[in-house]
Amino acid sequence: MKAAVYYAPEKVKLEKIPIPKIKEEEVLVRVKVALTCGTDRKLYLRGHPLFSPPFILGHEFAGEIVKVGEKVKKFKKRMRVVAANSAPCHHCFYCKIGKEELCENFFIRLSGAFAEYINIPKPIIKDNLFEIPEGISYQEAAFLEPLACVIHGIEESEIKLGDTVVINGAGPIGLLFLQLAKLQGARVIIVDLSKERLSLAHKLGADEILNINQLKDEVKTVKNLTLGKRGVDIAIEAAGIPKVWESTIAMVRRGGKAILFGGCPPKTAIKIDTEDFHYGELTIKGIFHHTPDYTRKAFNLIGQKVIDTNSLITAQYSLGEIKKVLKKIITREGLKFAIIP
């Protein structure tokens, strides 16, 4: 099969390698579509501590089952399926206290979808493999994993009807946050530096769009748009930049909450005004990954077609054009790209 194999930072080769052999409790899926994301960009530029090269890039995908292990009962050949990229162990300390996203024994698959075939292991089959319903395309279904992560952030934010929310970052994640926040009944302000992304945010329901390139002080500007200029009820960071983490926290009113979603580079730090944090009783919460419950909810929302995912796809490319796609994601051109093996 053809696969995009990572060897070192910025060194990916399209190669022909053997089709994966499955075990008796696994299934083999022919990838019909794989999506790019911010994690792919990070992997391409600096690798990942969980994976030793060579490995195959890509982890947001949907496809068709072509082979089923003899002990797999629920899934059959020719089923259209979508999978999340991990499964918790269900018995470690964090799983037992209801924090499965922090599982100590994660069976995590962060790569492998930029290929013609991918094998799905037993833990993921058990928790996070779903048959795609009729009327849902492979491309729509492939949003399962990122949407599940965003649902995690939305539920932890505890947005209430009438709340004012700011989202810093209008990339694919920020635009998913926007749509879910609107479903919660919030008024949403979204901040970015891309005119095109902000235009799409307006189309998807943002009440206010702010181009950071046109602002002298983004924190003050956002606060001026809130009741009494106090600040937003909930501030969401979706950029993965330490400076944006700081401005996100600064936009929150007393007693409000900051949700820090975007992963920053290793060994970075931020500064927090301790007076505002302490006397303002701020809640600052980091958000990482998803759980089987969040993937189930994401699957349901995709099936209900209440989330516009197609608008987040900039273009489709063949797997043979992977180098062109990687170049685009490095320069942050477009939003997401669909790779069709």
Each residue's pLDDT tens digit in the chain (341 positions)? 999 999 999 999 999 999 999 999 999 999 999 999 988 888 888 887 777 899 999 999 999 999 999 999 999 999 999 999 999 999 999 999 999 999 998 876 667 999 999 999 999 999 999 999 999 999 999 999 999 999 999 999 999 999 999 999 999 999 999 999 999 999 999 999 999 999 999 999 999 999 999 999 999 999 999 999 999 999 999 999 999 999 999 999 999 999 999 999 888 999 999 999 999 999 999 999 999 999 999 999 999 999 999 999 999 999 999 999 999 999 989 999 999 99
Report domain extents, the chain: 2-143+309-340, 153-286
Instruction: Read off the pTM.
Output: 0.96
Longest dimension (CA), the chain: 64
The pLDDT value recorded for residue 111 is 73
The pLDDT value recorded for residue 117 is 98
Q: Using the structure block, give the residue that is written with the tokens 């911010």.
A: 38
Which residues lie below 8 Å from residue 269, measured CB to CB, with a gap of 6+?
Answer: 242
Task: Give residue 289's region: left, alpha or beta (phi > 0; psi -120 to 50).
Answer: left
Would you say 241 and 261 are in contact if contact means Cβ atoms under 8 Å apart? Answer: no
Listed in order, strand segments (DSSP E) in 47-156 are: 55-56, 60-68, 80-83, 86-87, 107-108, 117-120, 129-131
DSSP 8-state symbol, 48: B
For 2-143+309-340, CATH gives 3.90.180.10
Q: Using the structure block, give the residue that is written with the tokens 């994993």.
A: 145
Would you say 12 and 323 are in contact if contact means Cβ atoms under 8 Å apart? Answer: yes
Domain 153-286 fold is: Rossmann fold (3.40.50)
Would you say 282 and 276 are in contact if contact means Cβ atoms under 8 Å apart? Answer: yes
Q: Using the structure block, give the residue that is written with the tokens 């769009």.
A: 209
Alpha helical stretches, state H, the chain? 38-46, 93-96, 122-128, 138-141, 144-157, 172-183, 195-203, 218-224, 242-250, 274-279, 292-304, 322-330
The pLDDT value recorded for residue 110 is 61
Reading the block at residue 329, the tokens are 């994601």
